[in-house]
A and B are shown apart, each in its own frame.
Chain A
Amino acid sequence: MSTAETISQVAGRFGPYGGRYVPETLVAALDELERAYAEAQADPTFHARLDSLLRDYAGRPTPLYFAERLTGSLGGAKIYLKREDLLHTGAHKINNCLGQGLLAQRMGKHRIIAETGAGQHGVATATVCALLGMECVVYMGEEDMRRQELNVYRMRLLGAEVRGVSSGSKTLKDAINEAMRDWVTNVRTTHYLLGSVLGAHPYPAMVRDFHRVISREARQQIQEKEGRLPTAIIACVGGGSNAIGAFYEFIPDKNVRLIGVEAGGRGTKLGEHAARFQGGAPGVLQGTYSYVLQDDNGQIALTHSVSAGLDYASIGPEHAALHDTGRAEYVSATDEAALDATVKLARTEGILPALESAHAVAECIRLAPTLPRHDILVVNLSGRGDKDMGILSRELNLKGA
């Protein structure tokens, strides 16, 4: 559409995507955040503090692990797992929360709000707020609170207030709406710690920068272990934060395939999945221009995924650009494939992936046998599956696993 093409020079654009589509009240806060982030980036003491917390508190660098039994059982490409699941709080989300938490401190904002889907970002935010002594309010859809109740309890234990959201589909999208309403109302005292590469500029670029460490480490680690770059990087894509972090440093390496895995849910009909590149069209949702699952009237569609963290109607704008230029490929994995992959990884490697990350594992299980043994796949294991025990026991009992 022409709108996108002619305004592609505006700050915060990825090709035609991204930008800033927000109520006027928030613009001053976004400008302030953009300035504060630019200053922090140029300040060695900010990086020193962040790096030290990432190392000593969160547990970086994370290992790049050769999954030998999984590789052997599939009989194709060698499979490595980037173990973001081993980070403190159990997922990659802590990378961004530490970065934004320190930034909020610099800006003198003592109240933090966040949205959460699977609860991993909420837990990471609550954790960082406890660490930095900040007030924390997390918005979470009531449907997600039901399916991720363990994380709700974790957040409360950490001192955060969890506010249930009962509007719309009661999932991540509705939690973001409510967080933005809070931010519009309390913008002078509050930092919105957005948990993915979504929303208005500068969020998509800033959150990506805080997760770039994933691919920076992985690129070095694979060269140390194999002396060459991998055939492909595979990551699940909800909003897309772990995927962009895992892809970013490999973007200039044209021979490395970048594969994003969306939630195929339980069918291809609108409302049955969260595969934005298969059923979506460019549009504006929650501050940014990207692919959006929507109906013919521009109403945002409901989505479905067994994993709360992938259950979202839009996708980070940088992924939209990587998709259109063909630099990254986007496929989908169904609920069933993700559940099967969870069991497979648990029983071959003793590693229980988060249901979100299991989508990436599912694509790896499909792809590896089709490739020669010389090839290398790196799967970003973005989170661990402890939080999913309730849903796994229900879903897998049904399947008799």
Chain B
Amino acid sequence: MKIGTFVRATGIGLILLFAVAPILVLILAAFDEGRFFRFPPRGLSMRWFIAAFESAEYRASVTRSVVVASLATVISVGLGGLAALGLVRGRPPGQAYLEALILAPLALPLVVWAIAFLQVLSYSGLGGTLFGLILAHVIITLPIAMRVILATFTRIDPDLEAAARSLGATPVRAFLRTTLPLARGGIAGAAALSFLVSFNDVVVSTFVAGAGWVTFPVRLYAQLRGEGIDPITLAIGAMIVGVIIVGAIATELWPRRRGR
């Protein structure tokens, strides 16, 4: 019994360590004063964080990534949410096929899909535009958002809306007052996933973005292949991790003040 507990604790500890280790390496290395990526760091310094804020090029690429990811998130959660609602409550004929169709883009290797989509974009004259880039991101984030929200809606009793209607709420109001607040957690999760997938995407953006819309991960990848690791990117990475941790803690605390 004791030994079993010990083995299990060690196992869980090792798994967590492996999950967190790269992030720790990234953060520690970002504070190193050296001009090259090395681990463990030898002297602490904030110079790369300062350099990150001073580099117009990196600032612009991060901003671009945030803009693209935000728009892709809003669109995919909006449309994905509506699609999920239609699939769950509308019970259309061929529901399973419709669901599979929306998930289809995820079935191909992204590289293959991106090459094909690039052709579609250039035929329609959208190659190299922000709209084209966002469209590409939406097509890969929407299925994810839809799937998460679909699972959330499926768990919510449709009689809640029926009860609201029998109490005098129009169908839209019934949805807004019952299903939507109950689905908030799932929708937030879908938004977070969509944002991260879009924000971190290299493959699709590399093909679709064109010179005008180089996102942060694309910029990073180009840098890596050309000149090796730039410590500025480590600092930016560490800051992104910081933002995510703060965001995660905030959403953890969020539901507590909900209630009566």
Q: Do A and B come from one complex?
A: no
